[in-house]
Structure 1
Amino acid sequence: MTQPLIGVSTYLDTASWGVWQLPAALLPVGYPRLVQAAGGIAAMLPPDVPERAARVVARLDGLVVAGGPDVEPVHYGAAPDPRTGPPARERDGWELALIHAALESGTPLLGICRGMQLLNVALGGTLVQHMEGHAKAPGVFSHHPVTPVPGTRYADLVPEVSSVPTYHHQSVDRLGTGLIASAHADDGTVEAVELPGRGWAVGVQWHPEMGEDVRVMSGLVAVASRL
């Protein structure tokens, strides 16, 4: 199996290092380490002009859309809830363009947390803007069980009920066109989605980069290595 090149979208924020405090393209190290542990080569994809997305995706073997801030509700026709975070318009535009380019080209795609929500929005779905009980203190990950739906790609990768790292503020409401739910939390929250029979596009609401289970990322890398 060759080592496929997996692009991972990034934050755009202010960061401090040494004597510097400057705008930076940021990616928690758990993402590239997870790609590497699964056998891939990680490449950071900072926000760019959406019109370049197709050319970028054409150079990749697989795409990961990472977690991050809330998706701006305008993208799914909703008014903002007072508890919805400030918009990240550069990320929204860039990552939606990446998702559409990956779906159109058949490039394997994995959405993580925000990435899963954006995949749903890209296909016409909507989001719950605020959830109770799925996050503890700010910046603190928790765990809860996730149950796979039999017969799905997600269930092929993670066949058992598993405890996963979570930090949810928003979640999938109405599923986008063609998407199916492939895992749920005990309260019914959609924890994984996928596009059956259309290349390889999977999203997880939880954060595999914050744990030691590489199976979901290994699924992406395995498919990407065969293209």
Structure 2
Amino acid sequence: MGSNVSSPPVIGVTTYLEQSKFGLWDTPAAVLARGYLDGVVNGGGVPVLLPPVGEVTADLLSRVDGLIVAGGADVDPVHYGADRAPETGPPRPDRDHTEHVLIEAALANGVPLLAVCRGMQLLNVVLGGTLHQHLPDNVGNTDHLPAPGVFGQVGVKVLPDSRLSAIMGSDVDVHCHHHQSIDTLGAGLVSVAWAGDGVVEAVELAEPEFVLGVQWHPEENGADSRLFEALVNATRGTR
């Protein structure tokens, strides 16, 4: 893996690539909410950004000890064989391609993986699953995305004896911002947490590898770094 046993684990985090304003500049930039970085640091790791640029290959993951696939735009439904719904956002082929390669490499090489929101959805798609393209059509509410830029506060029940329950317990209140969700599960994935309306809020793969997806945004709760710490701890057995 990317660092020696005595140094803090290096955690790669995928990023947005957006037109951004900072200082005197208005320019395309790789950007990421700081909460991801603080979560990794508070969990005992060192974050490095993995933007969707250049020729991305599986070898990139030989430089890091763990991987976080961050939230972001809707996954292009072409990747799960569906027609585009009117509510589905414009395609982002840069992120879809880069993160697909990184997820496949992490799964193939036993790199501990935490997939967040869009990341969980893409993990499901990479493994052959499908998505609901607009949750209000399925559950009849907007609890998971009250308004653009506004996080929903959602109570989640966690499956006993799951990896997630060992980290978070049986009940957790989370920050959600998603209008899509898992429909058919990908190969090997197990649903391990649900909102009150039945929406799948977390998935994981069986032991021994650490592969965990959460539909919520753990980076929004700076007081709780348990998921980031669990990822960092999982890397220590793979170094």
User: Could you state the TM-score of these two structures normalised by the residue count of structure 2?
Assistant: 0.92
Aligned to 2:226: 215
Whether the 8 Å CA contact 1:49–1:94 is kept in 2: the answer is no
| Consecutive unaligned residues in structure 1, runs of 5 or more | none
Of residues 169, 177, 185 in structure 1, which corresponds to 2:195?
185
**SS of the residue 1:30 aligns to:** helix
In 2, the alpha carbon distance for the partners of 1:195 and 1:119 equals 11
Aligned to 1:141: 151
In 2, the alpha carbon distance for the partners of 1:179 and 1:161 equals 21
Alignment of 1:1-227 (within 5 A): 2-49=7-54, 52-132=56-136, 133=142, 134-211=144-221, 212-227=223-238
- Kindly state the Cα deviation for residue 185 of structure 1 after the two structures are TM-superposed: 0.5
**SS of the residue 1:111 aligns to:** strand
Higher mean alpha-carbon deviation, 101-110 vs 158-167, is at 158-167
- Kindly state the Cα deviation for residue 55 of structure 1 after the two structures are TM-superposed: 1.1
In 1, the alpha carbon distance for the partners of 2:101 and 2:67 equals 12
Whether the 8 Å CA contact 2:151–2:177 is kept in 1: the answer is yes
**SS of the residue 2:207 aligns to:** coil
- Kindly state the Cα deviation for residue 48 of structure 1 after the two structures are TM-superposed: 2.9
Runs of 4 or more above 6 Å deviation: none
- Kindly state the Cα deviation for residue 226 of structure 1 after the two structures are TM-superposed: 2.6
Matched residue type, 1:75:
H
- Kindly state the Cα deviation for residue 23 of structure 1 after the two structures are TM-superposed: 0.6
- Kindly state the Cα deviation for residue 47 of structure 1 after the two structures are TM-superposed: 0.5
**SS of the residue 2:194 aligns to:** strand
In 1, the alpha carbon distance for the partners of 2:81 and 2:110 equals 27
- Kindly state the Cα deviation for residue 192 of structure 1 after the two structures are TM-superposed: 0.4
**SS of the residue 1:191 aligns to:** strand
User: Could you state the TM-score of these two structures normalised by the residue count of structure 1?
Assistant: 0.96
Whether the 8 Å CA contact 2:159–2:170 is kept in 1: the answer is no
